[in-house]
Structures are given as structure tokens and as C-alpha cells.
Amino acid sequence: MNADCLRAAIRDVVDFPKPGIIFKDITPVLADAKLFRESIALLCATAGNVKIDKVVGIDARGFIFAAAVADRLDAGFVPIRKKGKLPWKTRQTAYSLEYGESIVELHEDAIRPGETVLLVDDLLATGGTAAAAVKLLDELGANLVGISVLIELEFLAGRAKLAPHRVISIITY
């Protein structure tokens, strides 16, 4: 099995959640035991030979992949959540969406300075969400080993916002 099998399973949903967006629906990948396992294996491989201390996932679909990757890599899992969901002291940062702004948060004690971190999300589009996550991780002094995404929409050039960090995508459009 390889990334082509995953690509074949990802479903395009036109005009969701609003007109003009082609939503990449990953639920068929999650629902198939072999495909889900393969997606996790491919994301784990993006860490290379580096021992990862913490896998960070982005609210909400990122959690699904990041938590499984963390378990497989024998690493801890850390959530970056939308504002108001984390109970302890947080660092937060605002970022632009297509319309308006959003805020994401990270517990301020979630990562110790110098810990090796792999940031995982389902999809990289404009890169705004991942860039906000990177800003929070930089503030905590994380050693960000890479940003791994299952899907990258290359035409939106999101990785330009993430330089000089290493971005690894499994499936590109």
C-alpha cells in the first residue's frame, strides 16, 4: 500500500463548507483500518531517525492523526486548540482566516525548551493555522523537527509561511 491508495480514498466535497471550497474529506481514510494505519505509518516516517519528545496536533482533525502518531513514536501528545477550550494557563496567538480572525492556544507548560516536536495536521491550505501553531511552539522554545501533513494544497503556497521549517506532505494537490 502507498500514498496513491490514500489519495483514491479522499473524497472531494464541492462547495463545503461554503461556495467555492472543495473540501478534502478524510473520513473514508479513517473508516478503513488499513488506510488509517497506512496514513499513520507515512506520517510517522516523516520524523526520520529523530527521537520525537512531543507530537503536537491542531484542533480538530489534526488530533486524530497526531495522537495516533504520538503513540506509534512513543512520544507525548500535545493539543493546540481553538480559544477557550484548554483549562490551564495558555499562550495564544491570533491568525487570519478567509473572513476575519481566529485564535489558537497551547498550554504554557506543554513543552519544555529544547524538546523535539513534530507538528501534525490533516491538511495544509493557506498555512495560516500551521504558522500560528509554529509561533506558539517557537515561544515555548520547542525544537521543531518538522511539520507533517497528510494533504497539502500546493496551489495555496502555505509552506511559504512556514519557512525555514521543514514541511513534509504525504499527498499533494
Which positions lie near ligand AMP, rule CB under 6 A? 21-24, 58, 61-62, 121-130, 158
**Cβ distance to ligand AMP smaller for residue 119 or 140:** 119
- Catalytic residue flag (residue 72): no
* Spatial separation of the C-alpha atoms in residues 2 and 11, rounded to whole Å: 17
Q: Exactly one of 38, 72, 81, 98 is catalytic; name it.
A: 98
- For the CB of residue 81, give the shortest distance to ligand AMP in the complex, in Å: 12
**Side-by-side strand order, sheet with 101-107:** 90-96, 101-107, 76-82, 54-58, 116-124, 143-152, 167-172
- For the CB of residue 62, give the shortest distance to ligand AMP in the complex, in Å: 6
User: Peptide bond preceding 60: is omega within 30 degrees of 0, i.e. cis?
Assistant: yes
Kindly report the backbone phi and psi dihedral angles of residue 127, in degrees, each rounded to the nearest multiple of 5, phi listed first.
Answer: 90, 0
**Cβ distance to ligand AMP smaller for residue 98 or 109:** 98
- Catalytic residue flag (residue 98): yes
**Cβ distance to ligand AMP smaller for residue 75 or 131:** 131
Q: How far is CA 109 from CA 105, 113, 147, 167, in A?
A: 12, 10, 21, 25
Q: Exactly one of 7, 11, 37, 61 is catalytic; name it.
A: 61
Active site amino acids: 61, 98
